Amino acid sequence: MSNNKKNQTVVNLEDIAQEDMTGRDKMARNVIIGWASYLLVFISGFILPRMMDQYVGQVLLGIWDFSWSIVNYLVFAAPGIGSSLNRYVAKYRAARETDKLCEAVSTVVIMQAMFSLLVITLVLIVVTNLSVLFNDKLGADMETARWVISILGAAVAFQMIMSPSRGVLTGCHRWDLLNGLQALSSLLSVGTMIVVLVLGGGLLSVALAYLITNAILEVTRVVVSFRVCRELRIRFAYASMEQAKEILMFGGKTIVVGLPLMLVAQTASILVASNLGPAAVAVFARPISLVRHLQTFVTKFSFMMTPTAGALQEVGDLDDMRKFLLQVTRYAVAFTLPSVLLLIVYGDVLLRAWMGDNYAHWSLMAILAAGYLLPISQDPVIRILMGMNAHGRVAMQSLLAGVISFAILATIGLMIGWSLDIAAVVVAVTLSITGGVVIPVYACKLLEIPYGQYLLQIFRTPVLCAVPYLGILIALRYLMPANELMAFLLSAVIGGFLLLQLYWRYIFSETARQKVRQKFFRKKDR
**Binning pLDDT at 50, 70 and 90, where does residue 23 land?**
very low
Q: What is the pLDDT of residue 14?
A: 43
Which of 226, 464, 225, 203 is closest to 333 using CA atoms?
A: 464
Q: Which of 208-212, 229-233, 252-256 has the lowest mean pLDDT?
A: 252-256
pTM of the predicted model over 0.75:
no
Q: What is the Cα 450 distance to its own chain's centre?
A: 29
User: Is pLDDT larger for residue 289 or for residue 337?
Assistant: 337
Residues 136 and 278 grouped into a single domain: no
With both helix axes pointing from N to C terminus, report the angle between 305-315 and 379-387 in degrees, rounded to the nearest 10: 40
Number of domains the chain contains: 2
**Rounded-to-integer distance, Cα 166 and Cα 154, Å:** 19
Residue 40 lies in a domain: yes
**pLDDT at residue 516 greater than cutoff 70:** no
pLDDT exceeds cutoff 70 at 44: no
pLDDT of residue 211: 93
CA–CA separation, 88 vs 82, rounded Å? Answer: 11
- Under 8 Å between Cβ of 465 and 334: yes
CA distance 217 to 203: 22
Residues 441 and 461 in one domain: yes
Residues 6+ apart with CB under 8 A from 63: 138, 141, 144, 145, 148, 203, 278
Q: Is residue 183 part of a domain?
A: yes
Instruction: Inform me whether the pLDDT recorded for 119 exceeds 60.
Output: yes
Question: Has residue 28 got a pLDDT over 80?
Answer: no
Within-domain flag for 521: no
Domain hosting 454: range is 254-515
Radius of gyration, CA atoms only, the chain: 23
Whether 232 and 259 share a structural domain: no
In this structure, are 242 and 380 located in the same domain?
Answer: no
Supply the pLDDT for residue 338: 93
Domain boundary, last residue among 196, 215, 246: 246
Q: Indicate the helix (H) or strand (E) that contains 51.
A: helix 24-55
Same domain, 239 and 304: no
Angle of CA points 32, 35, 36, to nearest 5°: 85
Residues 155 and 100 in one domain: yes
Degrees (nearest 5) of the Cα angle 396, 401, 403?
95
What's the burial of 129, exposed, middle or buried (CB within 10 Å: 0-12/13-18/19+)?
exposed
- 78: which DSSP letter? S
Given a cut of 50, is residue 12 above it in pLDDT?
A: no
Q: Are residues 297 and 385 in the same domain?
A: yes
Domain contains 413:
yes
Is the pLDDT score of 448 beyond 70? Answer: yes
Q: Which long-range contacts (CB under 8 A, 24 or more apart) does 124-128 make?
A: 124/150, 126/70, 126/74, 126/153
Q: How far apart are CA 420 and CA 366, in angstroms?
A: 12
> Please, where are the H alpha helices in 203-317?
203-228, 241-276, 278-302, 305-315
The residue ranking higher by pLDDT, 69 or 7, is: 69
Question: Best-predicted range by mean pLDDT among 108-117, 262-271, 336-345?
Answer: 336-345
> Same domain for 265 and 168?
no
> What is the structure's pLDDT at 97?
82
Of 246, 269, 295, the one marking the end of a domain is 246
Q: Compute CA distances 208 → 100, 168, 405, whole Å.
A: 38, 28, 38
* Per-residue pLDDT tens over the stretch 265-321: 888 888 888 888 888 888 998 898 888 888 877 777 666 666 666 666 665 567 778
Residue 242 lies in a domain: yes
Q: Do residues 206 and 260 both lie within one domain?
A: no
| Closest alpha carbon to 107 in 278, 235, 11 | 235
Out of 246, 277, 298, pick the residue that ends a domain: 246
193 in the same domain as 47: yes
Q: List Cα–Cα distances, 8 to 11, 99, 139, 234, 243, in angstroms.
A: 8, 9, 58, 10, 19
Tens digit of pLDDT for each residue in 371-408? 999 999 998 888 888 777 777 788 888 889 999 999 99
62 and 273 Cβ atoms separated by less than 8 Å: yes
Report, as an integer, the average pLDDT of 243-255.
73
Three-class SS state of 302: helix
pLDDT digits (tens, 9 = 90+) for 450-504: 998 999 999 999 999 999 999 999 999 999 988 888 999 999 899 999 999 998 8
Do 175 and 33 share a structural domain?
Answer: yes
In 316-361, alpha helices (H): 318-355
> How many residues are given for the chain?
526
Predicted pLDDT at 161: 86
pLDDT for residue 186 is more than 90: no
| Nearest to 11, CA basis, from 142, 90, 102 | 102
Same structural domain, 241 and 278: no
Determine, yes or no, domain membership for 263: yes
